[in-house]
């Protein structure tokens, strides 16, 4: 599967054929007509690049957490 393309604003670009296929399958699964605007909003939310350093994780063996267990 090819990697998604991102434009200069960091927004994922998807080919029209791919978006139409996703729209058709989503409409069949949900049992209703799904519009292109919904599909592009869904694709943008799913493929948005997330920051790697958004959360700080503590090391597993932090001594202060093991002194007073729950």
Work out the percent of the chain whose per-residue pLDDT is above 90.
26
pLDDT tens for residues 41-70?
888 888 766 666 556 665 666 556 556 666
When pLDDT is averaged across residues 16-37 and rounded to a whole number, the result is 92
14: exposed, middle or buried (Cβ count in 10 Å: 0-12, 13-18, 19+): middle
Q: Is the pLDDT of residue 30 over 80?
A: yes
Q: Is the pLDDT of residue 17 over 70?
A: yes
- Tell me the pLDDT of the chain averaged across its residues: 75
């Amino acid at each position: 599967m090819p990697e998604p393309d991102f434009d200069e604003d960091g927004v994922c670009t998807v080919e029209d054929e791919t978006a139409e296929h996703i729209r058709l399958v989503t409409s069949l699964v949900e049992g209703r007509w799904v519009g292109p605007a919904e599909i592009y909003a869904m694709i943008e939310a799913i493929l948005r690049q997330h920051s790697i350093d958004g959360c700080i994780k503590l090391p597993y063996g932090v001594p202060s957490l093991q002194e007073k267990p729950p």
